[in-house]
Amino acid sequence: MANFALKVTRVGFRLLQTISPRLAGRAAFLLFCRTPSRRPTGEKAKAAYAAGAARLAGAERFVLRLAGGAKAHAYRLNGGPIGQRKRYLVTHGWGSSAVYMTDLVSVLAATGAEVVALDFPGHGRAGGRFLHMGLAVQAVAAAGERFGAFDAAIGHSFGGAVLMVSAAGLIPDAAPAICERLVLIGAPSDMAWLFTDFGRMIGLHPAAQAALENEVHRVTGRRLEDFEASETAGMLGWPVLVIHAEDDKEVSPAHARRYDAAGETVRLFWANGFGHRRIVGAAPVLGAIAAFLKGDADEDAGESIKKDAEIIPFFELPARRAAL
């Protein structure tokens, strides 16, 4: 939030929570779930958007209808009944869209696989300005229902957390994602810190903060503390590749380390130097994902990826365009 808007917001919540902490909590939740404008701002963002839109110009497009009238949107490349092929799902982060994931989408599609890239509600072509975890998981379930089971799912940031919550079956009435491999790029391992930071930013007192967090249970059927994904990653029984940068300023690398400690099925790739956003189009990251999805029989393949990634000097990492 801009400084002036934040000051006004804090004044408003200070007054509202003196009247009713419950109403303040509900209002805070609505504000928390309001998605950013979908229009790219800045020359780099506009260029990235234009390039991504051009890459997706020939993709099939689908509207996925969710509960309560919400909609998600899906792009599909290499669709249709042409023999046996892999099917991959790609999910984006908060404030992003499938358009900004096209470096990854293009690499996956070039293998001949069927690739489905989602726009969550409030993002991209999906329309609206509202999203929470429950709706995002519903979008993943709707994609599975429309296109069939996925061989692998790859998610960035919030989109990675959505895949973990979906795979764990945490959202009632939303069929869990079932696939053979999972890739999490710059993804948080839990959600509680986001609500704590948000409540602190807008000046919520303890009662209103509790009301905010209770809204999570009301709309998803789960308590905020249930969205702890790091332990779940080791219990899925699927290989999980966690990709993170130690210079990520938006999602702490501590989240990646928690995932890495979850079990032997989890592998960690440090993509240092690419931060939180450029990481989705970084050449070493795309190469690591491609290798991981091949599913080599060598049990040490994942560990080799990890070791190789850790010794790449920062100055050798190729510069890539900024991608949201």
- Residues 72, 134: contact at Cβ < 8 Å? no
Please tell me the predicted confidence (pLDDT) of residue 2.
63
The pLDDT mean for the chain works out to 89
Determine which helix (DSSP H) or strand (DSSP E) holds 103, and give its type and residue range.
helix 102-110
Tokens (6 digits) for 184 = 């999490």
Half-sphere exposure of 205 (CA within 13 A, CB side): 15
Range 98-114 average pLDDT: 97
Q: Report strand pairing: 87-91 vs 152-156.
A: parallel
Distance in angstroms (rounded) separating the CA atoms of residues 62 and 75? 6
**With pLDDT > 90 as the criterion, what percentage of the chain qualifies?**
77
Residue-wise pLDDT for 42-91, tens only, equals: 899 999 999 999 999 999 999 999 988 999 999 999 997 767 899 999 99
What pLDDT is attached to residue 84? Answer: 82
CB contact at 8 A, 71 and 121? yes
Please determine, for residue 107, whether its predicted confidence score (pLDDT) is greater than 50: yes
Residue 322 above 60 pLDDT?
no
Residue 155: pLDDT over 80: yes
Domain 43-191+233-316 is in which class? Answer: alpha beta
Confidence at residue 81, expressed as pLDDT on a 0 to 100 scale:
74
pLDDT at 235: 76
User: Please, what is the Cα angle at 297 between 291 and 302, to 5 degrees?
Assistant: 45
Residue 304 has pLDDT above 60, yes or no: no
CA angle, 265 as apex, 302 and 316 as ends, to 5°?
30
Which of 130, 95, 122, 134 lies closest to 216, judged by CA?
Answer: 134
* Better-predicted residue by pLDDT, 83 or 177: 177
185 confidence band (pLDDT: 50, 70, 90): very high
Q: Which structure tokens are listed for 82?
A: 């042409």
pLDDT at 190: 92
Beta carbons of 64 and 71 less than 8 angstroms apart? yes
Query: In terms of Cα–Cα distance, which of 19, 103, 9 is closest to 56?
Result: 103
Instruction: Summarize pLDDT for 244-285 with one digit per residue, the tens.
Output: 999 999 999 999 999 999 888 999 999 999 999 999 999 999
Q: Are 76 and 60 in contact (CB under 8 A)?
A: yes
User: Which pair of tokens denotes residue 127?
Assistant: 């329309």
Instruction: Report helix, strand or coil for 196.
Output: helix
pLDDT, residue 234, reads 73
Write out the two tokens for 37: 């404008």
Confidence tier at 305 by pLDDT (50, 70, 90):
very low
Reduced to 3 states (helix: H, G, I; strand: E, B; else coil), residue 152 is strand
Q: What is the pLDDT of residue 310?
A: 39
| Residues carrying CATH 3.40.50.1820, the chain | 43-191+233-316
pLDDT band of 228, cuts 50, 70, 90: confident
